[in-house]
Structure 1
Amino acid sequence: MIAQLPNVVLLPDGPTWDDSRANPLALGCRTCPDFAACGGLHTADAAFDCGDRCKCADPSACDVVCRKKPARFRAQRLEIGGFSLDNVERAPVLPHPAFPLVVPLIDHGYRRTGTLKESFVAVPLYRLYNKGTGIPFFSNKAEVCAHFRISLDATIIASGVARDFRIEPWWGFSTPEFLKQLSSLGIALFTVPNFSVFSDVPRTDNLHAIKRIGLSYAAMVNAGLPTALHLNARTERDYANWLKFIRERQEVQAVAFEFGTGAGSEGRIDWHIAQLCALADGVGRPLILVLRGGIRRLVQLHAHFSRVVVLDTMPFAKTRQRQRAVVKDTGFLAWPSAAEEFGRGKPLDALLAHNIELSRRAIIDPPEPLYHSRAIAGVRVNRPENPGGSGL
């Protein structure tokens, strides 16, 4: 066994995050036919190449895009026209409306009886169509607003961020006819579905997901849907590829990013923030950022993007759990239970409106540089006796 040989050091398992400044290029990457698009791996776990990320016992039952399933891999690669973003179809420049800093995300209209009086609202993209048939649930904006119980004159964003099983059907349904149907819903801005880019799979799976994002973006814009390009990336080369893509395409006026999962972890968020800021600086024109999570770094992002739009998921999530936002003596928000007042069967309209307002204040006007921590379980806001604030 290798472990018993003299002068052989086995490196311990390390994080699979890519960091070219801390780790050398994996030995097997240079000879890979996809090295130009991929850029190779720089991880701390001594992988020979990304093939070491394939851990499945039965390749026939695995849905990861991987060379160990040659026939399927060939079909998956042909389906997207290769891994390079260079051959993604160009699209027209569409007008994008102006959005405020904070837009509440409303997941559905259940447990409410009235209409939410918000001028700007986000809804989940996957809620607009049947994931089994691909048929839109709605035929016009009035039906969308009635379902989510939002104002008919509200400006709506459809957010493509969701768990994989909710967004994967999009890839099979997003035909020109399907996208044309969505264009009749009066949505002001869509964000591309965030096809996942994991760190513990072969890079071919990452490149396949990234290319699907690029192709989806082009299809949506060509169908007349104002769309923000979702930036999923694992390595510096991924960000460099996105930078080239955006710089060459004037139609890309807005990008989207999600910090709610791996990218927002304590050990990785600063790396992604640095990459996003460098991308914004490198594009050479104003760029809007549509953000989910990452509010701890809003000040940094504001310095590089022309506008940041936060899709605030907290108020709806806390309302669904019957929790009410309150301002503690420390200035942070706490979320104690409001189940006694808003128990089973009672409408949640007032609770949702209250939570939206306090959460918005917490993001727009914190009393000091914004800080958010799961340990604190809240967001700092102005104390009632001190209505001033440093702002953003």
Structure 2
Amino acid sequence: MNSCYRRNPAPPPSSCAECGILSECGGWDDERRHRGCFQRCEGCFDTECDYTCPANPILFGRSVEEVGGLGKLPVRLASIDSGANALPWYIPQIDHGSQRLRILKEQVVSIPLYRLCRFNRHGRLELVHRSRSALLNAFKLSERAAILVTSVCKDRWIEGFYDSRRLILPQLKELGLFAMTAPNFSFVRDSPRSNSVWNQTKMFRVIEDMTDAGIAVVPHLQAQTKKDWTRLQEVYAEFPDVRHACLEFQTGLNQEDPDFPAREVYKGHFMDFQQSTGGRVHPIVLAGYREIGFFGEICQSYSMVDACAFVKTVNYQEARVFSDGKLRWRQAGLEMQKTMAALLEQNIAQQREYLLRRNGLSADGRSLTPSLLPAA
């Protein structure tokens, strides 16, 4: 891990109890609390460290001032209109419209933020399509399609969006989006906790900017500790009309580590979070196939964003269900390869039906077993 303690002769705190920002951070929840998050800083003399860390007082002060204080909650949050049509349990992700000559007639689709932007020659992020008609034409989508933009991207794109957000957000508004998820700024496990708290606070500030631009926001449940989850609970308590949240399992939560079962810990925290909201939250889940049964049992409704059907289609693969009931992807025949639009429609339909059947769900994605949440 990088460090900037060379610039500050004071030794780092040896435990969470000694840390000056414990009230904002909350500290670790496990045995790491006795070591703190700075134990790897001593002896590391990388003066190029850019973590938001008290050991670098100039950068730390500037970063904290930028977000209005560590852990400061959003004061404005525009939610999805409660009168809008309910989101389906399955939402296909569409990355582009290349090789398709026919309009995809899905009512709701997801488009990743990085597919809507590009870096210009000055290194600034800018929008590719400046009108809804241009976007629909480029992605071969129906005029009635509700578009959900997901902001789960690599750091380069997330930070580029943050730097250019005041220019890009008004332009995104012109695309007639259904909603947009808040960016998931990185929580690095081996970095100082102050950096993660700062990144969560950055998300809160972006939520305000999205709201000011007139975009319906889906907060991202990005959290490392109980304190992080408590802040999220406070946001949903402050804004009772907010009924959606974004969760993703494709980055840190996709790592298998027997000593740090992040996925199971995260699910446990989400159950507590859902109970604190009275079970009102409709999660929008990315890369969560393994957890369909879990969400079907604890949520009144939920949505799974699926990128698999699209990715397989552009690689000329076809979904086939075999005699054992399992879905497998096979190379599509030459005739099917000539009609990419039909192949995509078929793959979406097959994937949707297979996931329902495999998980024993009803047609709306609900579990047929009782809820795991305690009765209110």
**TMscore range, shorter length:** 0.7 to 0.9
What TM-score results when the alignment is normalised by the length of structure 2?
A: 0.83
Q: 1:148 to 1:74 in 2, by over 3 A?
A: same
Q: 1:261 deviation in Å?
A: 2.0
Instruction: Specify the SS of the correspondent of 2:180.
Output: strand
Instruction: Specify the SS of the correspondent of 1:144.
Output: helix
Contact 1:158 1:191 in 2 (8 A): yes
Is 1:355 matched with 2:347?
Answer: yes
1:1-392 matches, cutoff 5 A: 28-43=15-30, 48-54=35-41, 59-86=46-73, 88-92=74-78, 95-96=81-82, 97=84, 98-132=86-120, 133-175=124-166, 178-266=168-256, 267-284=261-278, 286-338=280-332, 346=338, 348-366=340-358, 368=360
Aligned mates of 2:342, 2:48 — CA distance in 1: 48
Q: 1:198 to 1:166 in 2, by over 3 A?
A: same
Kindly provide the CA deviation profile for residues 315-356 of structure 1, in whole angstroms up to 9, marking residues without a partner as x.
11222332221113322211123386677xx55222222211
Aligned mates of 2:327, 2:296 — CA distance in 1: 23
Instruction: Specify the SS of the correspondent of 1:158.
Output: strand
The code of the aligned residue for 1:279 comes to: F
The code of the aligned residue for 1:112 comes to: R
Contact 2:79 2:218 in 1 (8 A): no
Aligned mates of 1:92, 1:189 — CA distance in 2: 10
The code of the aligned residue for 1:63 comes to: D
Specify the alignment match of 1:386 in structure 2.
none
Kindly provide the CA deviation profile for residues 131-161 of structure 1, in whole angstroms up to 9, marking residues without a partner as x.
4434322232211111111112111111111
Q: Which moved more, 1:152-161 or 1:68-77?
A: 68-77
Q: 1:258 deviation in Å?
A: 0.4
Q: 1:174 deviation in Å?
A: 1.5
Aligned mates of 2:49, 2:334 — CA distance in 1: 47
Q: 1:54 deviation in Å?
A: 4.2
Contact 1:197 1:206 in 2 (8 A): yes
Instruction: Specify the SS of the correspondent of 2:317.
Output: coil
Q: 1:32 deviation in Å?
A: 1.4
What TM-score results when the alignment is normalised by the length of structure 1?
A: 0.80
The code of the aligned residue for 1:271 comes to: V
Aligned mates of 1:347, 1:154 — CA distance in 2: 21
Contact 1:125 1:159 in 2 (8 A): yes
The code of the aligned residue for 2:350 comes to: L
Aligned mates of 1:198, 1:55 — CA distance in 2: 18
Contact 1:101 1:364 in 2 (8 A): no
Aligned mates of 2:42, 2:149 — CA distance in 1: 36
Q: 1:203 to 1:333 in 2, by over 3 A?
A: same
Q: Which moved more, 1:265-274 or 1:53-62?
A: 53-62
Q: Which has the higher contact order (CA 8 A, sep 6+)?
A: 2
Q: Which moved more, 1:52-61 or 1:124-133?
A: 52-61
Number of residue-to-residue matches in the alignment: 346
Indicate the RMSD between aligned Cα atoms, in angstroms: 2.8
Aligned mates of 1:365, 1:250 — CA distance in 2: 34
Q: 1:227 deviation in Å?
A: 1.2
The code of the aligned residue for 2:91 comes to: V
What are structure 1's unaligned runs of at least 5 residues?
A: 1-25, 371-381, 383-388
Aligned mates of 1:93, 1:354 — CA distance in 2: 33
Q: 1:390 to 1:263 in 2, by over 3 A?
A: closer
Instruction: Specify the SS of the correspondent of 2:303.
Output: strand
Q: 1:247 to 1:46 in 2, by over 3 A?
A: closer
